[in-house]
Amino acid sequence: MNAPSLGQHAHVVEIIAQSLSAHVCDADAAIDQLLAGMGQLSGVDRAYVFQRKPGDLFDNTHEWCGPGIEPMIEALQDMPIDIIAPWREGFERGEILHVPSVDDFDLVPELREFLKMQAIQGLLLVPLQWDGAIVGFVGFDRVKLAQPFLDEVVRILIAVAGAVGTILARSDANREIIRTRTELEKAVRQLRHLAMHDDLTGAPNRRACHLAIEAALQRGALAGQETCVAMIDLAQFKSINEKYGHTEGDRLLREIVERWAKVDQRGAQVFRIGGDEFAVVLGARGATAMMEALMADLRHALARPFVLGDLDTRLNMRVGMTVAPRDGATADTLAANADLALLTAKLDKAEIRHFNPDLRRRALQRHETMQDLLAARPERDFVLLYQPILDLQTGAIAKVEALLRWRHPLRGLLELTDFIEVLCGLDHSRKVGQWVFKTACQQVASWNYTFACDLAVCVNAFPLQVTGPDFLADLAAALDASRLPARCLEIEITENIALQDGSQNLVVLRQLSDLAVGVSLDDFGTGFASLTSLTQMDVQTLKIDKSFVIGLVPDDPRLVVLKAIGHMAKGLGIHSVVEGIENAAVAALVREIGFDYAQGFYWSPPVDAAALAAMLAAEQGGAVRCA
């Protein structure tokens, strides 16, 4: 059996994320979805769930069967607990049962006959646990051929079992979990290479786009129609070119154009402007709404994985839109406005942005911020604040997060949100990040010496740092200069940074773990792809996004998700930090769930080094060890 692809991983991860979302209403449908997905991924013939009920009995409650496989669910009701007797102790410890071949496995005659009745050649059983008790198990049978399960499949099955356990524990929830996906209408249309078309992809080129806008404007003036122009940029394409080379990048561009040619384009045309940038021109009444729908369809066309090398790669896209006559009356004006809206979408990390006159003011402000940042010297113009991270069991300061601020010569002390988007796009961020590492390590090493404690410091890494050649060397230099133990340094990384350069960034992050430097996945829970990261990254800590706890109350449905995340983290041996704690009631709730650490304004906002030192002095010797 071939190893599961990244695309298959992501499909299963999406199903798990939907199942754990706050919109679950149909537990049976969710479990059936999980079984079908895992049955297809693992190549088994039958997948099922047994649930424990009073009287130490098990019912086969859910079942998926491959083609030609006889269902067994009707025959497997009110089964005695003896069916798992040989493995019960292992199940209670959370251990799986992997039987590649029943013929080679030592079984009592009754159990062997029971398996033979189901025509089982091999099987994998994963226990379902909730709050430490066995509530059932998930099974995967091989009927046609005995064959072992790959380690990667087993690891995902364990995650799926956790999701099933969560669903069963809240099976009375009445919320939506499954988003229906409509199939894209396929209409094959062959593009011919003409003088007005791009040689590489066959798509109409920049000149054709300009003429198409002019023609649409003329028709619009006569018929009272809108002319809508959209500019599209392919996210992650630059890193793909760097990793796989331009030949593979060119092949990918051709495949994208071929996919888009099969989408109902509603009378519009798609143009390749250059590089990884495309344009779409549409003239019609209600063109804005039609264009938005078309952009959604083009985005869906990118959702299926592209095969590059031996890996599946997914792409996303960002869009800038403008419309005439509201935004301009010439082709040049509309194209420039759409470009500006696209730039805004990229900076805002948004899927789509519409042009408005305020964007020009923002563009000027970004330009001024960029120029000021380039002139800024880290040791003179930046400062670090520190926010304590507390051990929820002891209440002591266990870690601190270093947070960057900018002393702007005219605007005063600026929050990170005021300049982070611009700084992240500059090579200058590597120099600033190097200073952050050095300063944070020196400060925490000094505190550890002064207060005889063992604090860890959490530092956010810039995207260009992680992709740069000196990232690990800069870290090592900061640790050596400060003499701070590597185990007391944690690098906080977002999933976008971790995965933006394919597997290369994952290699870098694993190297951090090899150096004993901790890796923390920031803003966990804000997207289902975060589960994908856990299967790919060597992560020691999850930072639960503050959106899960803001305004949290005892009967809040988000508690179900928080409990599931807590159980998953503990099952994977990963530490957890909850961000955004604002009051004692929320602190008590997350403490009761069993999270390890927390931070927020309830204890302290980010403060300067002197204020944090005063806090450490007040609890002299009370900080827990970071090891």
Is residue 390 domain-shared with residue 269, that is, in the same domain?
no
Q: Average the pLDDT over 211-215 and give the result.
A: 91
Domain boundary among 141, 169, 197: 169
Q: Quick one: 132 and 245 in the same domain?
A: no
| 331 and 393 housed in the same domain | no
- At 536 the pLDDT is 66
The phi and psi torsions of 71 (rounded to 5 degrees) equal -65, 145
What is the DSSP secondary structure assignment for residue 285, as one 8-state letter? T
Q: Residue 574 pLDDT more than 50?
A: yes
Per-residue pLDDT at 160 exceeds 50: yes
Task: Indicate whether 501 belongs to any domain.
Answer: yes
The answer, yes or no, to whether residue 534 has pLDDT greater than 80, is no
Q: Are 608 and 383 in contact (CB under 8 A)?
A: yes
According to DSSP, residue 263 is labeled S
Reported as a pLDDT band with limits 50, 70 and 90, residue 496 is low
The reply to whether 229 falls in a domain is yes
Residue 625: inside a domain, yes or no?
A: no
Asked if residue 181 belongs to a domain, the reply is no
Is residue 81 situated within a structural domain? yes
CATH number at residue 322: 3.30.70.270
Mean pLDDT of 151-180: 63
Query: Which one of 311, 326, 356 terminates a domain?
Result: 356
452 and 532 inside one domain: yes
Q: How far apart are CA 175 and CA 21, in angstroms?
A: 9
The whole-number pLDDT of residue 408 equals 92
Indicate whether 373 and 351 sit together in one domain: no
Q: Please provide residue 385's backbone torsions phi and psi, each rounded to the nearest 5 degrees.
A: -105, 160
My answer on whether 346 and 372 are in the same domain is no
The CATH number of the domain holding residue 67 is 3.30.450.40
Query: Is residue 375 located within the same domain as residue 301?
Result: no
Q: Both 350 and 237 in a single domain?
A: yes
Nearest to 162, CA basis, from 537, 524, 622, 534: 534
Domain count of the fold of the chain? 3
Q: What value does the mean pLDDT take over residues 355-384?
A: 87
8 A C-beta contact, residue 437 and residue 475: yes
Residue 624 counted as domain residue? no
229 and 304 housed in the same domain: yes
DSSP 3-state of 230: strand
Q: How far apart are CA 85 and CA 269, in angstroms?
A: 65
Give 233-266 pLDDT, tens digit per residue.
988 787 777 777 878 888 889 999 999 999 888 8
Parallel, antiparallel, or unpaired: how do β-strands 575-578 and 541-544 relate? parallel
Q: What is the pLDDT of residue 9?
A: 55
> In this structure, is residue 183 part of a structural domain?
no
Whether residues 147 and 235 fall in one domain: no
Put simply, whether the predicted model's pTM sits higher than 0.85 gets the answer: no
Positive or negative torsion for Cα 493, 21, 34, 8: negative
Q: Which stretch of DSSP H or E encloses residue 373?
A: helix 358-375
Lowest mean pLDDT, pick from 184-188, 329-333, 546-550, 595-599: 184-188
Find residue 80's DSSP bridge partners: 57
Q: Note whether 464 and 592 are same-domain residues.
A: yes
**Is residue 185's pLDDT more than 60?**
no
What is the average pLDDT across 448-465? 91
Same domain? 350 vs 381: no
Q: Which of 108-112, 120-124, 125-129, 195-199 has the highest mean pLDDT?
A: 120-124
pLDDT tens across 253-262, in order?
999 999 999 9
CATH of the domain at 554: 3.20.20.450
For range 44-65, the mean pLDDT: 90
For the chain, the average pLDDT equals: 83
**Residue 13 domain-assigned (yes or no):** yes
Domain span at 283: 206-356
Q: Point out the domain boundary residue: 300, 326, 356.
A: 356
Give pLDDT tens digits for 539-563: 889 898 898 998 889 888 889 989 9
Distance (Å, rounded) from C-alpha 352 to C-alpha 358? 16
Distance CA 440, CA 448 (A): 12
Judged against a pLDDT cut of 60, whether residue 5 lies above it is answered with no
